[in-house]
Amino acid sequence: MEPIKHFTRNDVGRDVVVGDVHGCFQKLRGALDAIKFDATVDRLFSVGDLVDRGPDSDQVLEWLNKPWFHAVRGNHEQMAIDFARGGIPADWYMRNGGGWNISNPQHVSAEIADAFHALPIAIDVETVNGLIGIVHADCPLRRWQDVRLALTGSNSEAFQEALLWSRDRFDQENREEVEGVRAVIVGHTPLVRYSSLGNTIYIDTGAWIARENRPFTILDLETLQPVHQPSRSLSA
């Protein structure tokens, strides 16, 4: 596992990032069609939590094999890893949306866990307007270069947990800028609309909540603005 993965600037297409998918891959496909995503030149980044809760979690390996799709590990990917290794009980995993995976044969759960373990904990992407960082939940450090150092240091596992699970910045309404990046994009905390604290931008807008039929938030990494998605194209 490469804990942090760097991407150079995309000079031929768009780079966009989507909030938590939670097994709603068909809905995501509709959103990409609506923004005229071009898989030959564009790249789609993800803040993680690809699985659980939605109807299409079993498509996750297919999506991870797409050359234009790049995700960080979220806490739900970590739960799948822990379940396959006997680290969490099935009933707890079930309550958190893992039923689709619990019913899989053991070798399939192991294959999924291996694919999730291979995901980076953080991604950074060069754009014409500066470097963008992507993690699942939170960035607890003031400098992005310290994130890189912490992820490759001897105590990286404890730091990884914060990146996967923490809501400290959001709960404390911490508006301190993360130095060394133009913005840090995160998911994990479902909101009615995308929001920011300092240069940390929260883009999990609960598209996976079926009863509310909210759209995915898809940000253009160059402008840090949502890409327009006609609402008629976003039905689940």
Asked whether the predicted pLDDT for residue 232 surpasses 90, the reply is no
Instruction: Give the other-Cβ count within 10 Å of 98's Cβ.
Output: 24
Exactly one of 22, 70, 76, 136 is catalytic; which is it?
Answer: 76
Q: Is the pTM of this model over 0.85?
A: yes
Asked whether the predicted pLDDT for residue 139 surpasses 60, the reply is yes
Q: Reduced to 3 states, what is the DSSP secondary structure of residue 200?
A: strand
Q: pLDDT tens digit string along 22-73? A: 999 999 999 999 999 999 999 999 999 999 999 999 999 999 999 999 999 9
For position 161, what pLDDT does the model report? 94
Residue 94: burial class (beta carbons within 10 Å; 0-12, 13-18, 19+): middle
Q: Which residues does 134 contact at the CB level (< 8 Å), separation at least 6? A: 17, 45, 47, 72, 122, 123, 124, 125, 184, 185, 186
Q: Which residues does 29 contact at the CB level (< 8 Å), separation at least 6? A: none
- The CATH class of 4-233 is alpha beta
Q: pLDDT tens digit string along 193-221? A: 999 999 999 999 999 998 788 999 999 99
Asked whether the predicted pLDDT for residue 85 surpasses 60, the reply is yes
Helix%, strand%, coil% for the chain, nearest 5: 30, 20, 50
Asked whether the predicted pLDDT for residue 3 surpasses 50, the reply is yes
Average model confidence (pLDDT) across the chain:
94
Q: From the CA atom positions of the chain, what is the Rg in Å?
A: 17
- Distance between CA atoms of residues 21 and 12, nearest Å: 26
Domain boundaries, the chain: 4-233
Q: Average pLDDT for residues 152-176, to the nearest whole number?
A: 92
The verdict on whether 117 is a catalytic residue reads no
- Element (H or E) spanning 218, and its range? strand 218-220
228 — pLDDT class (breaks 50, 70, 90): confident
- The answer to whether residues 169 and 142 touch, using CB atoms and an 8 Å cutoff, is no
Asked whether the predicted pLDDT for residue 233 surpasses 70, the reply is no
